[in-house]
Structure 1
Amino acid sequence: MNKISRKGFLKIAAAAAMSGVTAGALAACNAASGSTSTAASGSAAASGATGTYIPGTYEGTAEGISSTVKVTMTFSDSAVTDVVVDTSGETASIGAAAADELRDQLLAAGSAEIDGVSGSTITSEAVMKAAKSCYAQAKGEAVVSSVQLPTGDENDWLGTEPDIDEAAITETVDTDILIVGAGNGGMFAAAYAAANGLNFRIIEQNGNVQDTRHWYGAIDSAAAKAAGEKPFDKAKLLSEISRYASGKCDQRVVKTWINESAAMHDFMRSILEDKYGWVCDFTSGTEAAWPAENAEHNTDYLFPVEEHNYMASERESGLARNELLLQYIQELGYGVDFKTSLAKLEKNAEGRITGVIAQNMDDDHFIRYNAAKGVLLACGGYAGNPYMMQQLDPLGTSVTTACSYSPADKGYGIRAAVWAGANLDKEAAPMLFDRGIVAPGVDAGYVDSESAFGGKAFPGEIRQFNPGTQPFLKVNRNGERFANESCPYNDIVYAAAHQPGRVYAQISDANMLEDAKRFHTIGCSAGTRKNTMEGLEKTFASAEEKGCFFRADTIEELADKMGFTGAAKDTFLATVERYNELYDKQNDEDFGKPAYRLSAIRTAPFYGYWLGASLLTTEQGIAINEKGQALDTNNQPMAGLYITGDMSGSFFANNYPCLMAGVAMGRTLTFAMKAIKQMAGLE
C-alpha cells in the first residue's frame, strides 16, 4: 500500500459513482483519506455474491496527528470478522495507546461510527475515516476512495497542487459566480449577490458560517453624516496608510476602499437596519481621536478611521452578523454549501479561471464547480498554519505568545491561488496585538503540541489580555526599560524581538484605571478605560488562576513574584524608581513618551505580568488590483479570479495599522461587494 506523506498526495480514482450524495460546501483540505483494497474483490463481485459485503480484507488510511493511521478490516458476506488498527506513528501516550480500544469499538459497532477515545480525538477521527473507507470497499462502492490533499510541511509550506483523476469527480455544479468561504467577506458578497438576484453558490470549509469581525471602517458614510462629521481628509488617510506600509501597498487598491466604503456601509445598513432593525454604533469625534498631546510629540501619524459596528444588536438578537446574513440569503432562496474542501482552482487553455474542484468532507467525493462569470476567494489568512507562519513570517512568529485567530485560517485559499499562478505579497503583515499574557519564564514562539495542526502551538492560554495594550512601564527580563511604550500594538512586541525570551513585563499600580482613562487609547484597547475596576478584577482573576497575573503590596514583593532575582531584581527596582522620577518631571528623557502617557508607580497594590504578541490574523495575501482581481506573477489580472479578506494583498505590508480602527474589515467588505459587481457586470 502507498502511504501518503504530508508533502505529497496519493492520486486515486473512485471506482464507481457514489449515488444519493448532496454536495455540502467548502471544508478544510487536511482530513481526506486514502485507501487501497487488498481483497480479490473483482472476482468476488463477478461470482455474484449476494451478501451485504464482498468477502475479503481491505485497508483504509487517514491522517492523524503526526502519522498516517491505517485500519485493516476483514469481512465475511454479512459481518466484520477482524479489525487491525495501526496507530503506531501517533503520540505514544495518547493516539498510539488508543489502538486496542478503537479496534474493540469497531468490532462491536458493526459500522465506522464509534465513540472514539477521550483525549485522542484526532486519532479517533482518523481511525473512523479509515474504517469508513474499508466499509465502502467491502460494499463495492469504491476500490479506492479519495485523494489525500497536501498540507505542506516544515520545509515546504506550499506543497504541490493535487492531480485529481477525472474519474474521482462524481458531481458537477454549474453556476455563474462561485464564492469560496462563508466568513466576513464571503457572507457579505453572498448577501449582495442574493439581493441582486444573481446565480451564485457559496461554499465553506466548516459546518457553519465563520466568526464575525464586528467593527469595520468606512469613510464619509451615512452614519458619519448623521453624526455631523466633517468630510474626511481622504488624501491624508491614503498617505498615512501608504506610509505605515513603507510605501509597499498599491495606493489604487487603498483608494477603492476609501472611495467606495460608504456605499458598502449603505448596503450593510439596508439589511441590518432597514430589514432587521439593528442599530449601528458609530465611533468618531472625540472618542475616536487621539489627545492633542500626540501632535506635540510627532505621533499623530496614528490616523483614526470612522468605525461602525452592530455588536449591541447582535447581543440582543442572539445572532452574529454573519449568521444574520446567512438568514438573509436563505430568506431569498439561497444557502451555503457547508463542509466541502477547496482542492484546486481550474482554468481553461486561455488561462481563465473557470471554477474549482472541491471535496465533500462527509464522504470525500469530489465536486466540480463551474463558475461562468468568476470565482471569489474569501478563505482567510494563514495564522493557523505553523508551516506558513514559520516560513513566511519568522519575525511575527518569534514574538508571539498567544493567539486569537480562527483555527480554520490555514492558508488553503492562498495555496490554491499560488498553484494557479497568482502572485503572493512578498512581505508578511501579521495582525499582532500586545496582549499575549504568559507565565514568568515562558518564551515567545511556538512550542510542541500533540493536538495542534502541524504539531505546533503558542504557549499562552488566554487569547487576549486587553490591559496589555495600555502604555504602562514595560521592562525586559533584565529589569530594563527598552522602548517608548506609547505606540501601536505591534511596535512594542517587535521591540521585544531584541529582548531576552522576546517577552516583557508590564507594571502599574492601584491607579491603573484612572491612568488608562487619561491615556485615552483608541480602537479595541479602549475597552480597558471603558471598564470598571470590578470588571478589571474579573479579568485579573482569570489570569491569576493561570499563574500569569501578579499583585503585591510592595515593589520588592512584586519583583519576587514576577521572577526577578539577583542583578535583574536590582535593575528592576532601579528602573521603577527612575520611571517615577520621569513622571515627576513630566518629561520622558529616556525614550520620549508623551507626558500624559507617563504614570507613577507608588500606590499599592502593584500589578505585573509578562506579555508577548497575540496573533489575530495575517494580512499577507494574493496581490489584487483596484477591482479586486487577482494578479499573476507578472502583476497582470487573472481573468475570472477575485480575492477579498485576509487572503488578499496589496493593501498592508510589514504589519497591520492596528490603531486605524476597522480598516481591514472595511477593506474586506468593500472588495467583497466590488468583486460581485465586477463579475455580474453591475459596474
Structure 2
Amino acid sequence: MKEAKGISRRSLLKGATLGAAGVAAMGMFGCSPASSSAEGGSDAKGGESGKHTWEVKPEPITDIAETVDTEVLVIGAGYSGTCCALNAAENGTKVILVEKDNVPNGHGVGGTGAVASRALDELGIKLDKSIEMERWVSTCGGRCRESLVGKWFRESERCMNWLLDLAESDGAKCMVTVGSHSTVHPEADCYHMISGGQTTNDNMSIANYIEYLFIAKAEETGNFELVYNSPAVQLVQDESGKVTGAICETENGYVQYNASKGVVLATGDVSYNDEYIDEFAPIAKKVMTRLCSDQGNTGDGHNMAAWAGGTFQDGPWPTMMHPQAAGMFHGPFLFINPEGKRFMNEATWVQGKCVGTMVNGGYDHCWSIFDASFQEDNTASLEYGGGMFWDSFRAVGTTPADASASHAASVEKGVTDTPENYKKADTIDELLAQIEEIDADTAKATIERYNELCAAGEDTDFFKESHFLFPVEEGPFYAVKVGPGLLAVVGGIHISDNFEVLDADDNPIEGLYAIGNCSGDMYAYDYPINVQGNSHGRCLVEGKCLGEQLAGVYEDVKA
C-alpha cells in the first residue's frame, strides 16, 4: 500500500464528545472549497453569486506532479468501495483504490442485512421478499426507484453467501440477530454480524472488519493497490465528457490517475456537510449528535459528480437516525420532553423515536421514565415489539429475558458512570429534581396522567397499544436521556440500475459510477429498517455487482 502523507480525517476532529453514541457509530480536505464550520460541517453556501458548491465547477487542475495508469479507479475505502475493488481485482482487472484518510472507514455496528443466505437457511429463517420489498417502498413514500431496489432483492442472497464464504476462509463467524416483533414496524431476523477473523489491525473494530478483510483479499490478487491520504479533488474528462480518471492531492503534489474502464465514487454520505444538509436533509440539523466520529463524509463524491454533469435524486433525502446520542436504552416506556410533557406514542421504531422527539417533542432530546419493574416489563413488551436498543443485538435463539437483563445491567452502570444521561431515585420527586432542565410540576402531572391511562388499559392520548402501557409506580425510579443521532444521509447521486451516474435527462456520464451512501435512488423520504442492516447490504450488493461489471464478468440474475 502506498502512503502519501496528507491531511487525515483524524486530524480534523475538534473534540466532539459522543459519549455512549460511540457504540452506535461502530461502523475537510477534499474537492469542496467550502470552509469548515465550528460543528464540523461545511458552511451553507459557497462559490460564485450565492450558488452552491456543487453548482460551480472549478477550473481544471493542470500542475500534475505524477500520472498513474490503471483500469479501474475506486475513490473511497469504505464498505462499498473496498468490496468493488476486490471484486474487480479478483476477476483480473487492475484496480487502484484511493482513500483520503489514513485508514479504511466503516460506519454502523458491523452488521449486514440480506433477504436470504445460507446462514438464514441454517436457522430456518425465510423472508417473504414480496412483503419486505413492499414495506421498503412504502417506508420510502413510494419515491425510491423500485427497479434498483428489486435488483438488490435479487442479488442479496448471492452476494451474502459470497461474503460468508470469504469470512469463513478468514476464520470469522457469523451471528444473526433478532428483529422487532411489532405488527406495525416489524424487522426481519436478517442482520448478519461477522467478526473474529484472522485479519486484524490496530485500527480495526467490529465496524470495519469487513473493509480490512476485503483489502487483505484484494492484495492477494496482485491486481490491487491502495493509496491512503490521497483525497480525490477533481475528475478528468475528455472532450466528449467521458470521465477518464481523477486527480488526488498529496503532500507531493497532484497525482492524476487515468482509468481505462471506469471511475467509481464510493465516498460516503454528506453527514458533515451543512450545505448539503440544509438543502436536501434539513431535519438532520435537529439531531443531538452526528454519530460517525471520523467526520470525513463531506460530500466529496457528490461535488465531483455534479461538476462532471451528474445530477442528484429529488429531495428531501432520507436520513438514518438512532436515538442513542445520550443513553443507550429506551424501551416502550413513557417519554417526556424538557417541558415535562408527553408528546408521542413511544412504542415505535428507532427512526420514529428520533423524529417524534425532534418534531413533536420540540427538542433534540427527551427523557424515558420507568420504574423498578422495567426489566420484567421490557421482557413482556418484546413479545409484541422491540428492535434496536429496545431489544438488543442478540443472537437468534436467545430470549427476550436475555436482552432485558443486559439492558438492566447497562442502565445501572449508566447511573454510576454517566449520571448526566442516567438518573435513579427512590421517589418521583427526587428523580425529577435530578433532571434540572425539566419542569417538575408538569412532569409529575404527566406521569400521573400516564398512570391513569395504564390503569384504564387504553391510551386515549396517543393510542399506544395496551400491551405497551407500563405504569411508573414502584421505586426506585429511572430516567434515561434519549438523544436522536444521525448515522447517515442515505440519498445522493442519481444513478442507473447499473450504477452509472446520470445527468438531468437520465443519460449516463460515460466512465463514471457511484455506489454506497454517496449514490441515490435506493431510498427516499425515510430509511426502511424492516430489513435490518440493509445499508451495509446495499454496499455489499452494489460493490460486488459493479466490481464484476467493470471486470466484464457480471451476469444479471434477473429471470
TM category (shorter chain) comes to 0.7 to 0.9
Counterparts of residues 567-578 of structure 1 (less than 5 Å)? 568-578=439-449
Per the TM alignment, residue 409 of structure 1 is displaced from its structure 2 partner at its CA by 1.0
- Partner of 2:73: helix, strand, or coil? strand
Q: Which amino acid aligns with 1:474?
A: F
Counterparts of residues 605-616 of structure 1 (less than 5 Å)? 605-616=476-487
Cα pair distance change 1:328/1:507, threshold 3 Å: same
**From 260, 264, 281, the counterpart of 1:372:** 260
- Partner of 1:526: helix, strand, or coil? coil
Please say if 1:681 is aligned against 2:552: yes
- Partner of 1:642: helix, strand, or coil? strand
**From 503, 512, 522, the counterpart of 2:374:** 512
Per the TM alignment, residue 518 of structure 1 is displaced from its structure 2 partner at its CA by 2.5
**From 199, 205, 218, the counterpart of 2:114:** 218
Q: Deviations over 1:490-527 (max 9, x none)?
A: 22332232434443221111222222222321245432
Cα pair distance change 1:250/1:202, threshold 3 Å: same
Larger radius of gyration: 1
Cα pair distance change 1:25/1:249, threshold 3 Å: farther
CA contact (8 A) 1:28 1:342 kept: no
Per the TM alignment, residue 592 of structure 1 is displaced from its structure 2 partner at its CA by 1.5
Per the TM alignment, residue 149 of structure 1 is displaced from its structure 2 partner at its CA by 4.8
Counterparts of residues 300-315 of structure 1 (less than 5 Å)? 301-304=185-188, 306-313=190-197
Counterparts of residues 258-273 of structure 1 (less than 5 Å)? 258-273=153-168
Per the TM alignment, residue 590 of structure 1 is displaced from its structure 2 partner at its CA by 1.8
**From 545, 549, 574, the counterpart of 2:422:** 549
Cα pair distance change 1:64/1:27, threshold 3 Å: closer
Per the TM alignment, residue 252 of structure 1 is displaced from its structure 2 partner at its CA by 0.6
Matches of 1:540 and 1:314 in 2, distance apart? 37
Q: Which amino acid aligns with 1:173?
A: V
Which residue of structure 1 aligns with residue 505 of structure 2? 634
Q: Deviations over 1:259-316 (max 9, x none)?
A: 101111122122111x212111123xxx3351xxx43xxx1x4342622111355899
Q: Deviations over 1:215-272 (max 9, x none)?
A: 1111221222222223x32222221111101011000111111110111112212211
CA contact (8 A) 1:25 1:337 kept: no
**From 321, 333, 355, the counterpart of 1:472:** 333
Matches of 1:436 and 1:517 in 2, distance apart? 24
- Partner of 1:625: helix, strand, or coil? coil
For structure 1, list consecutive stretches of 5 or more residues without a partner in the other structure: 1-21, 32-62, 66-125, 130-145, 438-464
Identity among equivalent positions (%) equals 26
Matches of 2:536 and 2:31 in 1, distance apart? 35
Per the TM alignment, residue 321 of structure 1 is displaced from its structure 2 partner at its CA by 2.2
Please say if 1:238 is aligned against 2:113: no
Please say if 1:252 is aligned against 2:147: yes
Q: Which has the higher contact order (CA 8 A, sep 6+)?
A: 2
**From 406, 409, 423, the counterpart of 1:531:** 406
Please say if 1:560 is aligned against 2:433: yes
Cα pair distance change 1:667/1:27, threshold 3 Å: farther
**From 284, 291, 305, the counterpart of 1:396:** 284
Matches of 2:102 and 2:505 in 1, distance apart? 37
Matches of 2:198 and 2:107 in 1, distance apart? 10
Cα pair distance change 1:27/1:667, threshold 3 Å: farther
Q: Which amino acid aligns with 1:261?
A: S
CA contact (8 A) 1:382 1:411 kept: yes
Per the TM alignment, residue 557 of structure 1 is displaced from its structure 2 partner at its CA by 1.4
Which residue of structure 2 aligns with residue 488 of structure 1? 349
Which residue of structure 2 aligns with residue 195 of structure 1? 90
Cα pair distance change 1:26/1:226, threshold 3 Å: farther
Q: Which amino acid aligns with 1:595?
A: S
Matches of 1:207 and 1:387 in 2, distance apart? 25
Which residue of structure 2 aligns with residue 650 of structure 1? 521
**From 323, 338, 353, the counterpart of 2:228:** 338
- Partner of 1:474: helix, strand, or coil? strand
Q: Deviations over 1:106-142 (max 9, x none)?
A: xxxxxxxxxxxxxxxxxxxx9xx9xxxxxxxxxxxxx
CA contact (8 A) 2:104 2:212 kept: yes
Instruction: State TM-score, norm by structure 1.
Output: 0.69
Matches of 2:164 and 2:446 in 1, distance apart? 51
Q: Which amino acid aligns with 2:408?
A: M
- Partner of 1:560: helix, strand, or coil? helix
Aligned length: 506
Q: Deviations over 1:64-102 (max 9, x none)?
A: 99xxxxxxxxxxxxxxxxxxxxxxxxxxxxxxxxxxxxx
CA contact (8 A) 2:31 2:303 kept: no
CA contact (8 A) 2:114 2:160 kept: yes
Matches of 1:625 and 1:164 in 2, distance apart? 27
- Partner of 2:498: helix, strand, or coil? coil
Matches of 1:195 and 1:270 in 2, distance apart? 15
Please say if 1:599 is aligned against 2:470: yes
Matches of 1:593 and 1:401 in 2, distance apart? 28
Per the TM alignment, residue 181 of structure 1 is displaced from its structure 2 partner at its CA by 0.6
**From 161, 166, 179, the counterpart of 2:57:** 161
Matches of 1:503 and 1:630 in 2, distance apart? 38
Matches of 2:553 and 2:200 in 1, distance apart? 35
Cα pair distance change 1:534/1:150, threshold 3 Å: closer
Please say if 1:329 is aligned against 2:218: yes
Cα pair distance change 1:317/1:199, threshold 3 Å: closer
Q: Which amino acid aligns with 2:450?
A: Y
Q: Which amino acid aligns with 2:241?
A: G
**From 295, 308, 326, the counterpart of 1:420:** 308
Cα pair distance change 1:315/1:24, threshold 3 Å: closer
Instruction: State TM-score, norm by structure 2.
Output: 0.83
CA contact (8 A) 2:34 2:45 kept: no
